[in-house]
Amino acid sequence: MGLDGLKGYNGNMRKPVHLPKKIHTAFSLTEEDSRLFRETVGMVSPMASDRVLLEKKRPEPRRHSHGADWSDVAPVEIPLLAMGDVTSFVAPGIQKRVLQRLRAGKFGVDVELDLHGLTADEAKRRLASFLRICLADGCRCLHLIHGKGYRSEGDYPILKNRINLWLRQHPDVFAFCTAKPTDGGTGAVYVLLRDIRKVNDSP
């Protein structure tokens, strides 16, 4: 059957044109182009292999604050704590139920530090060293005794408020809260630390 016999054939229609799959265009560099290319790239050495090996990078160890960079001035407004006030904190990104479990004593205390009676500077150094050792040894739940501050001027105990501030600045503190009455009540806190061994051992 010819084209005239096809239904709806229009004499103005043309047969489809089959273009080549690849169109090669001749292109050549001028001497000036070659010179500029060599000046830009520099010396080029042939590669021994055309395979690219991707190396997995291990995560950098977290920077651990040793207390030297803990500020005694709050970067944001934190209410002062009186002797009988309770306190709590949970780091950004940590679920609130972690704090609830810590407050209920679900983690179990690994180690205790008594800072009660020390000056602020002594307590800062002792706490920084203590946290560093706890992180290295994998201790996660701590019991810190700071005292209720009966010897502080006014109703705002210095050490209690400083610890409330310092712990918020430590990069590996997940959460902390006022201890149970049997563990010192408003004169102590439970602290939950990050397990940095899992972070450093991850591929």
Q: Which domain holds residue 95?
A: 89-194
111: left (phi over 0), alpha (psi -120 to 50) or beta: beta
Q: Is residue 32 part of a domain?
A: no
Helix (H, G, I), strand (E, B) or coil at 27: coil
Q: Is residue 113 part of a domain?
A: yes
Where residue 169 sits, what CATH number does that domain have?
3.30.1370.110
Q: Show the tokens assigned to 198.
A: 């899992």
* 158-169 and 120-137 helices, crossing angle to 10°: 40
- Categorize the per-residue pLDDT at 180 as very low, low, confident or very high, splitting at 50, 70 and 90: very high
Q: Is residue 185 part of a domain?
A: yes
Helix (H), strand (E) at residue 111: strand 111-114
CA separation (Å) from 120 to 67, 117, 162, 179? 12, 9, 7, 21
Q: Is residue 118 part of a domain?
A: yes
The reported pLDDT for the residue numbered 50 is: 54
Q: Is residue 35 part of a domain?
A: no
Mean pLDDT (the chain) is 77
The reported pLDDT for the residue numbered 31 is: 72
The 3-state DSSP composition of the chain as helix, strand, coil percent (nearest 5) reads 30, 10, 55
User: What tens digit of pLDDT does each residue of 10-55 get?
Assistant: 444 444 444 444 444 444 556 766 666 566 555 555 555 555 444 4
The residue that leads in pLDDT, 63 or 128, is 128
Q: Domain count of the chain?
A: 1
Cβ count within 10 A of residue 14: 6
Q: Is the pLDDT of residue 146 over 60?
A: yes
Q: Is the pLDDT of residue 92 over 60?
A: yes
The reported pLDDT for the residue numbered 76 is: 76
Q: Show the tokens assigned to 134.
A: 């706890």
Q: Is residue 128 part of a domain?
A: yes
Q: Is residue 26 part of a domain?
A: no
Helix (H, G, I), strand (E, B) or coil at 34: helix
8 Å CB contact between 118 and 109? no
8 Å CB contact between 58 and 203? yes
The residue that leads in pLDDT, 124 or 76, is 124
Q: Is residue 125 part of a domain?
A: yes
